[in-house]
Amino acid sequence: MYIRRTLRPTRPLRVSGVLLAAAALLISACSSGSSTTSTATADAVLAALPSSTPSTLSRYYGQKLNWRTCGVPGFECATMKAPLDYAKPASGDVRLAVARKKATGPGKRLGSLLVNPGGPGGSAVGYLQQYAGVGYPAEVRARYDMVAVDPRGVARSEPVECLTGRQMDTYTQTDTTPDDKKETGQLVDAYKKFAEGCGRRSPDLLRHLSTVEAARDMDILRAVLGDQKLTYVGASYGTFLGATYAGLFPDRVGRVVLDGAMDPQLTARKLNQDQTAGFETAFQSFAKDCVRQSDCPLGGTGTSPEQVGKNLKAFFQQLDKAPIPAGDADGRKLGEALATTGVIAAMYDESAWPQLREALTAAMQEKDGAGLLALSDSYYERDADGRYANLMFANAAVNCLDLPAAFATPDQVEKALPAFEKASPVFGEGLAWASLNCAYWPVKPTGEPHRIEAKGAAPILVVGTTRDPATPYPWARSLASQLSSGTLLTYVGDGHTAYGRGSACIDSTINRYLLQGTPPTKGKRCS
């Protein structure tokens, strides 16, 4: 599963984010459209940890951070230690990168505000320095020290590694809509090589990258920063991380915002199928808008969204047979896998739709795949030199540890294809096959679907967007109902997550909660 958050307000499209295993090969993950219902599949409830800190962890909770400048004006950085294995704290440490920007004033300082953009695998430090620390509302930055920690295995925090850049280029181009047994075998081999690479390069770390462990790391940071309660804004997968924290430490919950919420009680297969429907919902919105524009290459005025989808699917099938040039210095061409990823990347933010229309026009009419390749590269965080961030490695590592695999064999995927294709005629087949990636993971999962109730926690604000492609709105409804102190805030609109998207209603409601601790009235909706 991979759910990503768009870093606003940067352009061109920049995604960084949350749970799917990643379009094409890695986009599998979690979603559903506004018409999808999240059905409970778990009876287990995440149990709170003892309120007292174990003596074996005292050296971590008592550590002092050595803050230093780190190349970005106004920000400080430090390194925090946490136990690699919480069950055996003496067995070794993991070093976590932390960054902060102190409260600017005026007004009384309210403490630290920890932010996480999602993923799993998104760099929270990068998000803080590129957006949250400079782009969050001024009144919030005035009262809080803005803080981020890259979760274990992510970016600057002992990143998990799996493949070289060249190997990732091959991996991301692998056909995820196999037409025969040979192509199915090639896809399985790609998943196996990816998993083997992770196991070979990061064998010890790979066993300790769960969301529960990352949430426990956050509590150490809370204590080290001197805060009695955790104040937190998590987006996309960051909502799962934040909700997990609340379930483990309900008495330490301060003001917590979960924007673009995940539903922790769903199985990996249900999450993936829901997210498939979510991308279809987003595509339907794009299709309706596209045919009203003079530059839409998928149909003109009056063309139904269903026909627009068929036209796009037909284009993907052409690319499957004959990839087109993309002007890439490394010789990559635009095939079906990369093109699909590019389209999905643009579904996260409606402001990217004009860019997508332009890219599709160039590819379909001029046989120039550069625009869609650029969208795909932004999704995978591949730079111009062919280097990939560790986003996708960490993404798979966390997902495959948090839940049992959606499918164990290709035969199971084939049996599930009708359900996925019903959820999305355009993306269903590829996302079903992408859900197979954890089947070959070298480490057994340690998590399972569960409810999070966080009994005794202060009010928690859950935010859901009605046409969110990556974290379907029903997930937000479900999480808010699970949390004993959850309040649901609804954004009626398109795109992934709501805070900072341009809705004055959403922003003012969240700001009031962060600054005053006052959640909105029950059932509040914004547009």
> Two tokens at 66?
């050595």
Predicted pLDDT of residue 185 = 98
What the block records as the tokens of 300 is: 């003109």
pLDDT of 42 reads 67
Is residue 208 annotated as a catalytic residue, yes or no? no
Residues in the chain predicted with pLDDT less than 70, given as ranges, are: 1-42
| pLDDT tens column, 2-24 | 444 443 433 333 333 333 333 33
What is the tens place of the pLDDT at every residue in 247-271?
999 999 999 999 999 999 999 999 9
Nearest CA to 106 out of 139, 154, 61, 69 is that of: 139
Compute the CA torsion angle 275, 449, 184, 335 (nearest 10 deg).
30
Instruction: Tell me if 142 sits within 8 A of 105, measured CB to CB.
Output: yes
pLDDT for the residue 112: 98
Helix/strand/coil for 225: coil
Looking at residue 43, what is its pLDDT? Answer: 81
Q: Give the whole-number percent of the chain exceeding pLDDT 90.
A: 91
Point out the catalytic residue in the list 377, 494, 496, 507: 496
Q: What integer pLDDT is reported at residue 243 of this predicted model? A: 98
Query: 19-52 pLDDT, tens per residue?
Result: 333 333 333 333 323 333 344 456 899 999 999 9
CA distances 321 to 172, 232, 312, 316, 334, Å, are 17, 47, 15, 9, 11
**pTM exceeds 0.85, yes or no:** yes
Question: Is 377 assigned a catalytic role?
Answer: no
Q: DSSP character for 499?
A: T
Among residues 112, 123, 236, 376, which one is catalytic?
Answer: 236
pLDDT in tens, 113-122: 999 999 999 9
Annotated active-site residue 236? The verdict is yes
Helix spans in 471-526 (H): 473-482, 504-516
Of 227, 468, 494, 507, which one is the catalytic site residue? 468
